[in-house]
């Protein structure tokens, strides 16, 4: 059994209390939501905060407001999203993303905020302390080299969150609060393409809400490639959202790749092709071609990287067919069985 390192635990009762504790020593303090990512990381000594501030008792973070836009407190569990029939109807992409995260037990604990801030992943990093010590560590923690690309000046660990690409495609924003005040930014601006500094969130900030714009008249879909259909992290994924006008033309399209970089990756070239056009099979094929070069998976997660890259085309194709309203049940089955 791997034990947790010693740390001080503070159970916050309000956002104000949580940000006060963060401000006291931001570099040494971490927030604990469901703990399904942070606690295993602490056991493996990947993250070793001296102080942990628990958010479970902060009722303000579990709100859910529906006033045109959807305001989701970051302590809402993933299970609450999966059980939300209205979300399934009105924002199917987010519902599809949430249902494919981990297992039911983990989703009971796991939260929206924790999923957005999920640590980036890598074969050389997600290992025990002793395993990492045996290779003299790597630059993400305790070492100074990247074993994936030894000449790389930066860490290439993979963004493996399922909801972040979908929130980005939905045009969602996040509210960040600290003792210095609060700010609201696009989810797209919360992430940086750097495996170590993958969030633009400052160490003294707490993400309190995710605000999803009104989805009436809009459609969305999320498609994920993983080894096991029962539960597994994504090794490539596609989130799409847009509005299909009565004449069939697509507007407000956003297409985002997940798990092929250190951040969710918007694909403006594919969006430009689709915007204002009818989603024909030919256009879908052209958009999949446009997305293909943008995804540059590295050899640091499950599956062979060339195959993962190859899978970008079918994933984009399936997601766009889903957005168009095709019956994609057989395609979902093919993806689960990896007959692509």
Ligand X SMILES: Cc1cc2nc3c(=O)[nH]c(=O)nc-3n(C[C@H](O)[C@H](O)[C@H](O)COP(=O)(O)OP(=O)(O)OC[C@H]3O[C@@H](n4cnc5c(N)ncnc54)[C@H](O)[C@@H]3O)c2cc1C
CA angle, 181 then 177 then 233, to 5°: 155
Q: What is the dihedral sign for C-alpha 109, 69, 88, 266?
A: negative
User: Cβ of residue 34: shortest distance to ligand X, in angstroms?
Assistant: 3
Q: For 162-188, b where at least 16 C-beta lie within 10 A, e where not — what string? A: bbbbbbbbbbbbbbbbbeeeeeeeebb
User: Cβ of residue 208: shortest distance to ligand X, in angstroms?
Assistant: 7
Binding partner selected for residue 38 from ligand X, ligand SF4, none, CB under the kind-specific 5 to 8 Å limit = ligand X
Q: Which two tokens stand for residue 120?
A: 């980036």
Closer residue to ligand SF4 in complex, CB, 124/223:
124
Q: What's the Cα-to-Cα distance from 261 to each of 45, 62, 83, 184, 270, rounded to whole Å?
A: 24, 30, 30, 24, 17
Tokens 């993958």 belong to: 198
**Residue ranges in 156-195 that form contacts with ligand SF4 under rule CB under 6 A:** 156-157, 195
Q: Is 236 in the site for ligand X (CB under 6 A)?
A: no
69's CB contacts (< 8 A; 6+ apart) are 211, 212, 213, 214
| Candidates 63-71, 85-93, 107-115, 262-270; binding stretch for ligand X (CB under 6 A) | 107-115
Q: In whole angstroms, what is the distance from residue 42 CA to residue 183 CA? A: 29
| Candidates 24-32, 133-141, 260-268, 323-331; binding stretch for ligand X (CB under 6 A) | 24-32
Burial (Cβ within 10 Å: 0-12, 13-18, ≥19) of residue 3: exposed
Among 42, 81, 118, 188, the residue binding ligand X under the rule CB under 6 A is 118
β-bridge pairing 8-11 and 51-54: parallel
Among 233, 255, 264, 300, the residue binding ligand X under the rule CB under 6 A is 233
User: Cβ of residue 139: shortest distance to ligand SF4, in angstroms?
Assistant: 4
Q: Distance from first CA to last CA of the chain, Å, rounded?
A: 40
Give the helix/strand (H/E) hosting 87. helix 85-90
Among 36, 46, 178, 317, the residue binding ligand X under the rule CB under 6 A is 36
Per-residue binding string, ligand SF4, 285-314, x by CB under 6 A, is ---------------x--------------
Among 139, 166, 212, 323, the residue binding ligand SF4 under the rule CB under 6 A is 139
Closer residue to ligand SF4 in complex, CB, 124/233:
124
Q: Is 185 in the site for ligand X (CB under 6 A)?
A: no
Closer residue to ligand SF4 in complex, CB, 99/152:
152
HSE on the CB side for 85, CA within 13 Å?
0
Q: In whole angstroms, what is the distance from residue 19 CA to residue 207 CA? A: 10
User: Cβ of residue 46: shortest distance to ligand X, in angstroms?
Assistant: 10
Q: Is 76 in the site for ligand X (CB under 6 A)?
A: no
User: Cβ of residue 123: shortest distance to ligand SF4, in angstroms?
Assistant: 7
Binding partner selected for residue 300 from ligand X, ligand SF4, none, CB under the kind-specific 5 to 8 Å limit = ligand SF4
Q: Is 80 in the site for ligand X (CB under 6 A)?
A: no
The residues binding ligand X (CB under 6 A) are 30-38, 40, 74, 78, 101-102, 106, 109-111, 113-115, 117-118, 160-162, 206-207, 231-233
Interface ranges with ligand SF4 (CB under 6 A) = 122, 124-125, 138-140, 146-148, 155-157, 195, 300
């Amino acid at each position: 059994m791997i034990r947790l390192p010693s740390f001080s635990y503070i159970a916050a009762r309000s956002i104000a209390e949580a940000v006060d504790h963060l401000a006291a020593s931001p570099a040494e303090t971490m927030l604990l939501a469901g703990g399904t990512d942070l606690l295993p990381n602490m056991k493996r000594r990947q993250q070793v905060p001296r102080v942990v501030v628990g958010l479970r008792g902060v009722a303000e973070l579990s709100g859910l407001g529906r006033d045109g836009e959807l305001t989701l407190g970051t302590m809402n569990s993933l299970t609450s999203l999966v059980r939300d029939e209205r979300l399934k109807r009105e924002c199917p992409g987010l519902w599809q993303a949430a249902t494919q995260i981990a297992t039911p037990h983990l989703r009971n604990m796991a939260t929206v905020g924790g999923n957005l801030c999920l640590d980036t992943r890598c074969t050389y990093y997600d290992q025990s302390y002793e395993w990492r010590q045996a290779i003299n560590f790597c630059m993400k923690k305790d070492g100074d080299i990247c074993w994936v690309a030894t000449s790389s000046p930066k860490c290439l660990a993979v963004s493996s969150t399922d909801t972040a690409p979908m929130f980005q495609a939905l045009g969602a924003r996040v509210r960040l609060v600290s003792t210095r005040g609060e700010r609201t930014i696009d989810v797209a601006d919360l992430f940086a393409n750097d495996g170590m500094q993958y969030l633009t969130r400052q160490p003294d900030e707490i993400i309190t809400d995710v605000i999803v714009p009104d989805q009436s008249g809009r459609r969305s879909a999320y498609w994920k490639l993983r080894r096991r259909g029962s539960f597994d992290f994504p090794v490539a994924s596609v989130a799409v959202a847009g509005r299909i006008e009565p004449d069939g033309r697509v507007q407000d399209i956003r297409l985002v790749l997940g798990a092929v970089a250190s951040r969710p990756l918007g694909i403006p070239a594919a969006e430009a092709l689709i915007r204002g056009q009818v989603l024909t099979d030919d256009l879908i094929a052209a958009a999949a071609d446009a997305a293909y070069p943008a995804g540059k998976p590295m050899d640091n997660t499950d599956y062979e990287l060339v195959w993962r890259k190859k899978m970008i085309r079918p994933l984009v194709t399936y997601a766009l067919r889903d957005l168009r309203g095709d019956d994609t049940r057989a395609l979902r089955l093919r993806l689960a069985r990896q007959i692509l």
